[in-house]
Structure 1
């Protein structure tokens, strides 16, 4: 080893010891007779010092040659600092330089390698290897490592086996777009990169690996945003001889373990909510339950009163913003403009103020009497000082709009504290959703999800009413995991494929291997996958997953550091049988 200690090791007990450190020069301060150098590695910072007349002149000269990010090896004696620095763990000591070797000089970096940097996102992504030297980024990757380690530790104690599944697989028609890989040895044919190891983990259950997991890379060719990358990581799990309750209990245990190990938090009871209730009360299948403001439906109290907008609406629904009656007309107009933005799409908003003196004032007073407004306030369980905000329209549309308004009010009122964690199971999703454009049913989760046993008789007669044996875990309004009890019998899987519009020949071509496996003794099984990057960003209190990935892509799906994706030469294309002309 070139060094005896790291730059985060030295303390008062090392005073008068001879040590050797290696690292990068964070900064130098030359005060004439005294020169200080902050030396950094991933463990911390140690202050070095050289003094004219005390330190050998060649050493002083070499210290003065140092620039930012020079890689150096330094030996010397640990001494007590006169001016201690309580902001760093090594702040009680400094190292008096006796030998110094420049292992590699460095160009001046394009941005400051400090917690508060002057580099923008694109610049830092281009020089990601430099960005990773910053403590703020390094700590995020250290947290990622800790989550991965804690996950493996927990699942190992539960008798799970980690099994790697293939990365070059077959393209499937369900789900997001695949990334495809041409095969040189099979001209005109393509592999796909896996969107998940779904069929392989089910085959492992057929193989008798009754508890499987994998922290696995997955790929989806989708439009990108803060919490989505073209390649991402899942905690992928499957169990045999279990029912839904077993999955919920096991993986609630995993999440409890992660919160305790990584964050030092003991989770409260994890509530459960049906999909139908989540949509009715929050307008979202991933509700943020850190605060209330549940939806209140008002059709019977607001319609047939002469207000045409409400009378024509499929649903009139609102929320109660507690304590917001003090909002001025200007404040409310701004909020109305906010819901009219294209991102939300509401045509307008009605408000009712419950004033401190007990009076009720609304934007539609001419249509509603004091008795009408009082009945509405009672439905909201409103008190003096509250502000009721009401939207109307088609059921699905207005619920989504009100969900956006609810979250915005939660932000404005400081109710969405990132350090306050609320975990929720959402259950009983619809098995299917109808796509008007393709004029056929699609699986809401995937085509291997089992229907609820009590709904099996509705598959042919009332497919819209069939509930899935599926479950999602939601943390603070973010879906972090989802899974289902799987179909494990060939006839039911064939029936599901038929309902999804597959011909028998198409089903056989795409998934014949799986249905064949079901004929050789497939056990009942179920599973779940957690978005590993999302979990890490939640634990780190961030909205974006990007900094929790060592080398992420930008919002255009490009790696600007290595300039990828890139074209390939004509000879490679020819070998692959691809003609781009």
Structure 2
């Protein structure tokens, strides 16, 4: 028999009754019923119940071991009997009568329970992440991630994509976040940058003629944590294709995402095909460029209705209306609760009216609406008896953000929210440029290597803020999975675009010399995208925070509490790297 096991803890069934087995695993739980010990033994594959009778060496050995001790046991598989079957376990029809025990790895008193979710704080969990990963939910999430990555590789390969790796040590690039820098020992005073994304390299692979590339790519960005963003590093399905237009990229990703979410989504419906929503339409209808389409309500811009109005709360402001049908039976607390929610989002309040049986409006602001206001609102919003309308007013960006959140919350409270579905969409036609509110200068709003719609002619003849790009985002249930673009493959277009954003020709040559050199030697039209692996798994696992889907994440302050990173480096190492520290002065 094998030194440690003849079977795993998850594979024993009724057909094994009468056989002798050897198992190894962790002591998951222990119960003493009249001197008879019942032990749950756990390994990667599952849990099986052990039985140790009173007065036996096995009972004496197991009675005093701490939970999470690693043991090897020998014993006989016996039937539990119909009255004692545990339907919650695949091994629930059998148990193992233990004859011999060997301790393989002792365990100190554990800092939190493994066999139950006991509400321990995240910092403690990350400090003892190796214990946290033993919990059923975390173990399931990590194995889901493994299965998802394996499936992605299979699907991309089947579609003719080649898995190619790109460098980790590279040059800094304006991807929109701070780089992590690595000092060079051999070249004093210079630094490598960890890639924010393999953007330039995957484009260079297209110019090198590889046609279809993908990679499960690590990316590094020195940015703050959010629930859907891990600080430090993350992984993405990075892909690029040659001789394609926007719809070709969409076709590949829609196929992969639909199959992936159907396979691992536990029966949740995947809407297909994915709708295409222009950026400005998304901001108007949903108040967000990552709309949650499970909320079956839409916003309407009614700023013009109140232009010149005497109603001071709306006069001179951007006004967004949210009609909600069939709320005639909702009590006043429904409206008050939404108002409170809007205040939590930063609003000063939430105006609203109801539509009565004869179409008359009632509510806190009804008296401020003229007959013409009522007529236009009724027609534009399709109002009918039983409807309510919520209004937000303020600066455009602010009211979009607040009313976008109110839209989703109102849908949930009004029964207009589809919970058990995956609703994808493409956000398209992003502006190429935006104005920096602090400096007033023009800068890239998205990926600087994107092809502007209309090419160089648009760059030369249009207001930069009116130039759209072949840029797109894929969104699922209000979570942005990725940005992508059809790339700019023409050097002169690149110079012109970067010039509008304030980069001189010499600066572009200096910063992107490798890319420009490749473009000048025959570059195919190409495009791609890079959906985030962490976010995909977060949605499939139905987790609110993507750190729950990563084996060893940094905490919200970008610290590894288990390994103690970031850590200080001794003076000898700093001298070797030609680095002198300049720490901030204490306040």
TM-score over 0.5 for the pair: yes
- Take 2:531 and 2:466, find their aligned partners in 1: how far apart are those partners? 27
Aligned partners of 1:227 and 1:545 also within 8 Å: yes
Question: Aligned in 2, Cα 1:506/1:305: closer, same or farther, shift over 3 Å?
Answer: closer
- Take 2:419 and 2:443, find their aligned partners in 1: how far apart are those partners? 35
- Take 1:175 and 1:356, find their aligned partners in 2: how far apart are those partners? 53
Q: What secondary structure, in the 3-state scheme, does the structure 2 residue paired with 1:345 have? A: coil
Equivalent residue runs for 1:225-236 within 5 Å: 225-229=226-230, 230-236=232-238
Q: Deviations over 1:525-555 (max 9, x none)?
A: 1111101100110111122100110001111
- Take 2:419 and 2:534, find their aligned partners in 1: how far apart are those partners? 16
Partner of 1:319: 322
Partner of 2:44: 42
Q: What secondary structure, in the 3-state scheme, does the structure 2 residue paired with 1:309 have? A: coil
Aligned partners of 2:184 and 2:191 also within 8 Å: yes
Question: Aligned in 2, Cα 1:59/1:345: closer, same or farther, shift over 3 Å?
Answer: closer
Aligned partners of 2:481 and 2:536 also within 8 Å: yes
Over aligned residue pairs, what C-alpha RMSD do you find? 2.0
Q: Deviations over 1:453-504 (max 9, x none)?
A: 3783344541111110111111111111221110112111111221221122
Q: What secondary structure, in the 3-state scheme, does the structure 1 residue paired with 2:468 have? A: coil
Partner of 2:93: 92
Partner of 1:219: 220
- Take 1:279 and 1:393, find their aligned partners in 2: how far apart are those partners? 15
Q: Deviations over 1:353-397 (max 9, x none)?
A: 124575420322333256743542343223322221012233333
Q: Deviations over 1:507-531 (max 9, x none)?
A: 1111011101111111111111101
- Take 1:215 and 1:444, find their aligned partners in 2: how far apart are those partners? 26
- Take 2:54 and 2:334, find their aligned partners in 1: how far apart are those partners? 65
Structure 1 position 291 matched with structure 2 position 290: no
Q: What secondary structure, in the 3-state scheme, does the structure 1 residue paired with 2:50 have? A: strand
1:336 pairs, out of 321, 339, 344, with 339
TM value normalised by structure 1? 0.94
Q: How far did residue 179 of structure 1 move? A: 0.8
- Take 1:369 and 1:460, find their aligned partners in 2: how far apart are those partners? 43
Equivalent residue runs for 1:100-111 within 5 Å: 100-111=101-112
Q: Deviations over 1:116-157 (max 9, x none)?
A: 234221111110000000110011111111110111011101
Structure 1 position 308 matched with structure 2 position 308: no
Q: How far did residue 321 of structure 1 move? A: 2.2
Structure 1 position 73 matched with structure 2 position 72: yes
Q: Which moved more, 1:118-127 or 1:9-18?
A: 118-127
- Take 1:171 and 1:299, find their aligned partners in 2: how far apart are those partners? 44
Partner of 1:562: 563
Aligned partners of 2:77 and 2:97 also within 8 Å: yes
Question: Aligned in 2, Cα 1:459/1:191: closer, same or farther, shift over 3 Å?
Answer: same
Structure 1 position 450 matched with structure 2 position 451: yes
Q: How far did residue 412 of structure 1 move? A: 3.0
Question: Aligned in 2, Cα 1:372/1:452: closer, same or farther, shift over 3 Å?
Answer: closer
Partner of 2:585: none
TM value normalised by structure 2? 0.93
Q: How far did residue 221 of structure 1 move? A: 0.8
Partner of 1:384: 385
- Take 2:89 and 2:460, find their aligned partners in 1: how far apart are those partners? 64
Q: How far did residue 432 of structure 1 move? A: 1.0
- Take 2:138 and 2:416, find their aligned partners in 1: how far apart are those partners? 27
Q: Which moved more, 1:275-284 or 1:406-415?
A: 406-415
Q: Deviations over 1:171-204 (max 9, x none)?
A: 1244111111111111111111110000000110
Aligned partners of 1:360 and 1:374 also within 8 Å: no
Q: Which moved more, 1:362-371 or 1:440-449?
A: 362-371
Aligned partners of 1:47 and 1:95 also within 8 Å: yes
Partner of 1:530: 531
Equivalent residue runs for 1:90-489 within 5 Å: 90-229=91-230, 230-263=232-265, 265=269, 267-313=271-317, 315-329=318-332, 331-341=334-344, 344-355=345-356, 359-369=360-370, 372-373=373-374, 375-413=376-414, 415-453=416-454, 456-489=457-490
Question: Aligned in 2, Cα 1:222/1:70: closer, same or farther, shift over 3 Å?
Answer: same
Aligned partners of 1:418 and 1:541 also within 8 Å: no
Residues paired across the two proteins, number: 575
Aligned partners of 2:279 and 2:427 also within 8 Å: yes
Q: How far did residue 103 of structure 1 move? A: 0.7
Q: Which moved more, 1:406-415 or 1:504-513?
A: 406-415
- Take 1:61 and 1:321, find their aligned partners in 2: how far apart are those partners? 67
Question: Aligned in 2, Cα 1:522/1:358: closer, same or farther, shift over 3 Å?
Answer: closer
Question: Aligned in 2, Cα 1:124/1:489: closer, same or farther, shift over 3 Å?
Answer: same
- Take 2:395 and 2:144, find their aligned partners in 1: how far apart are those partners? 44
Aligned partners of 1:458 and 1:465 also within 8 Å: no
Question: Aligned in 2, Cα 1:543/1:25: closer, same or farther, shift over 3 Å?
Answer: same
Partner of 1:58: 57
Question: Aligned in 2, Cα 1:133/1:364: closer, same or farther, shift over 3 Å?
Answer: same
- Take 1:175 and 1:460, find their aligned partners in 2: how far apart are those partners? 27
Question: Aligned in 2, Cα 1:476/1:459: closer, same or farther, shift over 3 Å?
Answer: farther
Question: Aligned in 2, Cα 1:136/1:197: closer, same or farther, shift over 3 Å?
Answer: same
Q: What secondary structure, in the 3-state scheme, does the structure 2 residue paired with 1:273 have? A: strand
- Take 1:93 and 1:355, find their aligned partners in 2: how far apart are those partners? 65
Q: Which moved more, 1:161-170 or 1:433-442?
A: 433-442
- Take 1:157 and 1:363, find their aligned partners in 2: how far apart are those partners? 60
Stretches of structure 2 that go unaligned for 5 or more consecutive residues are 583-587
- Take 1:545 and 1:466, find their aligned partners in 2: how far apart are those partners? 35
Aligned partners of 1:480 and 1:530 also within 8 Å: yes
- Take 1:575 and 1:499, find their aligned partners in 2: how far apart are those partners? 42
Q: How far did residue 77 of structure 1 move? A: 0.8
